[in-house]
A and B are shown apart, each in its own frame.
Chain A
């Protein structure tokens, strides 16, 4: 496999890849919504890579090596020796249709030899948990599903996804990797610290949370954020992620991020389900520990690649916008931490998302995560030419 990393900026335009784009099989591209919305960048990519699958999304910030940018496009072109690909997309019409949407993606990609699926999903109109469950119900437990939910900075207004098309809203894209040569590693870690008392989710519906211990959940968040930061909800809500778990299975905890608030109903919408009667605990972040979490995720993904592989490898990072919001100018600390794990041989790119998709570190079940650094590493083992 050959990897070519490149970028776009308003000043410099596309920094052209050194290799011939006609060889590329797959191009990932990540940029802010405003840059992608017009569609021109997609057309330019299509011209450069006429035969490649072109997949991308809007973000809460782009990752290019150790740096995070807001106005540039980070992209990578991949040329496989022995791996075939398929790209599927499905409209995300409503959050309650998320599972059906996932099942459709799964059906489109399910085929003998399917080794992994990389998903880029609309970030605001989808129940990520249900989407991933829908895909997994078709592809089975042996196929890893990684990826993330598209972002829109800290605005939470609209997200865009591209799957061989001009980036548009309410779309879910999935890339299937086939063949025995492909190697996909994954890692996911948070680094957030839970604090304070455990609370019972006494009222919720799907991914909408109403009450902790009989008290409106929004009241609790406003108290912890303080008057000023409370005005910044839902974005400021990312500063206090929520750790939730089934009291019967405390090891299988999930971190959830706020997507929206309803000040009248005093409710909060999260990126994934917050089941009633589960236990919840506020979390807070410390820069060093978040960076350490990112490093842990990177280490897991590198280990997951397994034996030696031929050619290049690439690491696609999907990190939660909440981490960036908290760390601010220290965000680069986590990228330096992951980069240190990858070394000079594995380039990294990615984006800050509204949700991350990866197998759970304990159960291995593919799920939606929040507030994590999720890493997908891709390589090929030594093999013959493409069939």
Chain B
């Protein structure tokens, strides 16, 4: 019997044992009702649950779709980011590697592998640092013991500290390694090839101490070496000698043949200087065409210095053949002996310069030892410079005039203006003494301008058929802006351009040829006459006649003085006179002092003459225009 029915029967039993049927039926009915209710409840629950689950499912599907889309988008983004990362990693010029805490490679870029010649297999993720280092050792990329190399690097890495190291490889490359530990173990390292940078640094360091063109040491290194030599001198008594060199006529070569040739010349000069000196000597280029040599000395310091100086002179005076150009330069040398000529660097340099200046002043292509008097001369020169500067302000200059006359009529055709300096203490000083100084200091320009202006002003008072002749040096020509200047002076003084002659020497044509020739043409177009002075003394006198149509040429006095004694000189003078005739330009014989010379000059065919025969240079007030006596009064143009 079903246990529930048994229970129901027991519950429905009366005390007598008889079953209360009604009670039993009630219990049974209740049981059926409960069962029905339970079943209905179950059905309803199931339906509701299914409905809810379906809804949830639908919601989940939707969520999954959305999340999938999100994930896909994120995946794309991640892929794009990875591509960017890869691109960055593979395009960076440095090698990069990342290791985990177990010293296994996580990632590296191709560059890293290339730097060390490692194959993709050797650099795949998961390989150990040790295996990579051993691969490098096998390829020979280690400067020291292979065993040590691997262990040293491992020890460094295991130190877990950031570091930077520069590593010279056995093949000459230099790598810089930046090592950075990561939080949680592992590290990132950047490997960079700094070979070029190191070479540049070496180069820069070299250039900081050496001249870029010649490779010789530079001024600052020379001074350092001199300090060291002085220290040795003080400690051990070891003497030394300093030679200061300046190339003669380098500027002319540079200007005429161009800077590339000039540079080549300097390089060959440097080589020759090195060949004349010992390895222990210091050869320096100070700049331009200036050089210096510091040489240790032994017992016969002066004798050794002379021998060296002669070697140097011989070496530099030997012609240079540069690309078919045969060039001749010389050198002037100033020599100081330490300790005799100085106890410190400044003094030695200054004294060497003074000695060099002396060598140059006394004819060049020679050497001079320093003498105490040079110091005085320098002082004198400085004094003269300052006096010269003041001379213009103080009106200490005067012009003396020297006529140039027709050889037959002795009529003055033009009068040359010559500057004199009336020094308040020293009296009259010749231009030979102060003009070089003026050119050196740049005072030549204001002085030259004063000369031009004064000469034109004076000449404006002279008879109309007499020209004034003004000397123009190469320095003045270079620095002047001739046209404007001449125009202004002529306008201000009222002198017609046709009455002005400019005497120039060949050096004006040597420098900046085409430009200067063009200027000369423009001056001539204004009406000014151009005269070639000192004809016959330069290198290429004839070629200058081809360059420009001069109005007159002045034959140097040296030829005139030898007219009587030297047949060659007479022939030359005749030839030049003839040349002038054919070119229809006047010829002036300079330095005519006697009647005989005048006869010869006439006979030779010169058109004009200048010299003491016709009077010495004199102030304007003493000029005597005998034949034409009356001064033409011209109103001056303000």
Contact = CB atoms under 8 A, between A and B. Distances in A.
B34 interface: yes
A229 B40 CA distance: 11
A330 B4 contact: yes
Contact of A197 (B34, B41, B44, B53): B53
Given A196-B52, A330-B4, A226 B40 contact: yes
Nearest to B35: A328
11 contacts: A195-B45, A195-B49, A196-B48, A197-B52, A226-B40, A284-B45, A326-B38, A329-B8, A329-B34, A330-B4, A332-B7
A110 B41 CA distance: 47
Interface string B43-68: 01100110011001000000000000
B30 A329 contact: yes
Interface in A245-297: 282, 284
Contacts of B53: 196-197
Contacts of B37: 229
B7 A328 contact: no
A86 to B, nearest CB: 40
A224 B7 contact: no
Contacts of A332: 7
Nearest to A223: B48
Contacts of A197: 49, 52-53, 56
A226 B38 CA distance: 12
A239 interface: yes
Contacts of B49: 195-197
Given A197-B53, A330-B4, A226 B31 contact: no
Contact of B41 (A226, A328, A333): A226
Interface in B131-149: none
Nearest to B27: A329
A46 to B, nearest CB: 30
B80 to A, nearest CB: 36
A329 B4 contact: yes
A328 B4 CA distance: 11
A224 B41 CA distance: 8
What 9 A-B pairs come out closest when comparing CB atoms?
A196-B49, A328-B34, A329-B31, A197-B56, A197-B52, A226-B44, A195-B49, A332-B7, A224-B48
B115 to A, nearest CB: 52
Interface string B404-445: 000000000000000000000000000000000000000000
Given A196-B52, A197-B52, A223-B48, A329 B41 contact: no
Contacts, number: 42
For chain A, the bracket of interface size reads: 10 to 19
A195 B37 CA distance: 19
B interface, by DSSP: helix, strand, loop or mixed? helix
A4 B188 CA distance: 82
B42 interface: yes
Contacts of B42: 284
A239 B34 contact: no
A219 to B, nearest CB: 12
A368 to B, nearest CB: 26
Interface residues of B, number: 20
Contacts of A282: 45
A329 B7 contact: yes
B11 to A, nearest CB: 9
B44 to A, nearest CB: 6
Nearest to A331: B7
A112 to B, nearest CB: 48
Given A197-B56, A329-B4, A332-B7, A224 B44 contact: yes
B519 to A, nearest CB: 102
A329 B30 CA distance: 8
Nearest to B10: A67
A224 B40 CA distance: 11
A329 B7 CA distance: 9
A12 to B, nearest CB: 10
Interface string B1-15: 001100110000000
A225 B31 CA distance: 19
A223 B52 CA distance: 12
Nearest to B7: A332
Chain B CB within 10 Å — which of A224, A284, A328, A329 has the most?
A: A329
A332 B10 CA distance: 13
A52 B53 CA distance: 57
Interface string A215-250: 000000001111001000000000110000000000
Contacts of A229: 37, 41
Contacts of A225: 41
A282 B46 CA distance: 12
Nearest to B50: A196
Nearest to B53: A197
Contacts of B56: 197
A170 to B, nearest CB: 34
A52 B372 CA distance: 141
Contacts of B31: 328-329
Nearest to B52: A197
Nearest to B31: A329
Contacts of B45: 195-196, 224, 240, 282, 284
A329 B37 CA distance: 13
Chain A CB within 10 Å — which of B7, B30, B40, B42 has the most?
A: B7
B378 to A, nearest CB: 100
Chain A CB within 10 Å — which of B4, B45, B53 has the most?
A: B45
Given A329-B4, A329-B34, A239 B41 contact: yes
A290 to B, nearest CB: 12
B13 to A, nearest CB: 13
Contacts of B30: 328-329
Given A197-B49, A224-B45, 18 more contacts: A195-B45, A196-B45, A196-B48, A196-B52, A197-B52, A197-B56, A223-B48, A226-B44, A229-B37, A240-B45, A282-B45, A284-B45, A328-B30, A328-B31, A329-B7, A329-B8, A332-B7, A333-B3
Nearest to B43: A226
Contacts of A333: 3
